[in-house]
Amino acid sequence: MTKFAEEQLISIIIPVYNGERYLAQAIESVLAQTYRPIEIIIVDDGSTDESARVAQQFPMRYGFQPHSGPGTARNRGVEQARGEFLAFLDADDLWMPEKLAWQIATFAARPELDAVFGQVEQFNSPDADATAPPARFVGTTLNGLHASAMLIRRAAFMRVGLFATNWHVGDFVDWYTRAQEAELEIVILPEVVMRRRVHMSNLTIRSRDTAHFEYTQIIKAALDRRRMRQAR
């Protein structure tokens, strides 16, 4: 690994809302990373369970806010981050041990890049309902255009801007459409970098109708912005 790849501080932001069941495993997957240096920032989005107790068993920076949604929680973590690179992990998902090492090595080899993603493998939790729509993808790998599969330069993230806070489940989809408009240089690695847990408390499962509506609105807003740019 090059000197560049050994010196870059990565800030890892984990938003959590009532995630006591899985949070420890998520943090452990970060601590198991083969890459250093890292800092872990946990933003508790108004949890009423034991998420705070779980988080505080680990070396990290912890902050609490009234329940405001994942976009607001991620933004608060970004504001506290000290690293030149940003990574995000949902409190119910897991990283592969080499995730950050693979991605930072890619940046070292290709300095023109703004963000590096990887593949995502979905897996069933014991409490998952096998009839839930996402379950048909369990055991398969998908291109990881997902917040938890991304490593991004802080400067590139700020070129796009913070996550929108008006979406219940669509904050990353909205952000990624704006990243495309900003023409970020992005690559998707062939390696699996994260495992997405499928369970009945998944926000996108619990809010399936809301997700469909929001994604439709996000696509419409992106098309409207494109038409406005073309009309200038």
pLDDT at 207 over 80: no
Q: Could you tell me the pTM of the whole model?
A: 0.86
For 62, list phi and psi in degrees, rounded to 5. -120, 135
- Residues 90, 25 contacting (CB under 8 angstroms): no
**Does residue 222 carry a pLDDT above 70?**
no
The HSE-up count of residue 185 (CA atoms within 13 Å, CB side) is 9
Whole-angstrom distance, CA of residue 157 vs CA of residue 146: 14
CA-based torsion, 82, 55, 69, 202: positive or negative:
positive
Look at residue 1 in the predicted model and tell me its pLDDT.
Answer: 62
The predicted pLDDT at position 97 comes to 98
Mean pLDDT computed over 92-121: 97
- Provide the CATH number for the domain around residue 149: 3.90.550.10
Kindly tell me if the per-residue pLDDT of 26 is higher than 80: yes
Please give the structure tokens belonging to residue 159. 């070129």
User: DSSP secondary-structure letter at 62?
Assistant: E
Reported as a pLDDT band with limits 50, 70 and 90, residue 139 is low
Number of domains the chain contains: 1
Whole-number pLDDT of residue 49: 97
Distance CA 146, CA 11 (A): 17
Going by pLDDT thresholds of 50, 70 and 90, the confidence category of residue 30 is: very high
Phi–psi pair at 157, nearest 5 degrees:
-60, -45
Structure-model confidence comparison of residues 56 and 170, the more confident one: 56
What's the pLDDT tens digit per position in 114-134?
Answer: 999 999 999 887 765 555 545
Whole-angstrom distance, CA of residue 69 vs CA of residue 163: 11
**pLDDT: which is higher, 169 or 165:** 165
203 membership: H or E segment, kind and range: helix 203-206
pLDDT exceeds 70 at position 136: no
pLDDT of residue 140: 74
Percent of the chain with pLDDT over 70: 80
Q: What is the mean pLDDT of residues 162-181?
A: 91
Query: What is the per-residue pLDDT for 151?
Result: 98
What range defines the domain where residue 56 resides? 3-231
Q: Which of 42-51, 70-79, 121-130, 143-152 has the lowest mean pLDDT?
A: 121-130
CA gap 14, 28 in Å, rounded: 12
200: which residues sit within 8 A by CB, 6+ positions away?
Answer: 127, 128, 129, 132, 206
- Whether 122 and 192 have beta carbons less than 8 Å apart is answered as no
Name the nearest CA neighbour of 119 among 145, 152, 97: 145
Q: Is the pLDDT of residue 194 over 80?
A: yes
175-192 residues labelled b (16+ CB within 10 A) or e (exposed): bbbbbeeeebebebbeeb
Q: What is the pLDDT of residue 209?
A: 62
Q: What pLDDT is attached to residue 214?
A: 73
**Mean pLDDT score of the chain, rounded to an integer?**
88
Q: Average of pLDDT values for 145-150?
A: 95
Nearest to 219 by CA among 181, 173, 172: 173
- What pLDDT was estimated at residue 127? 66
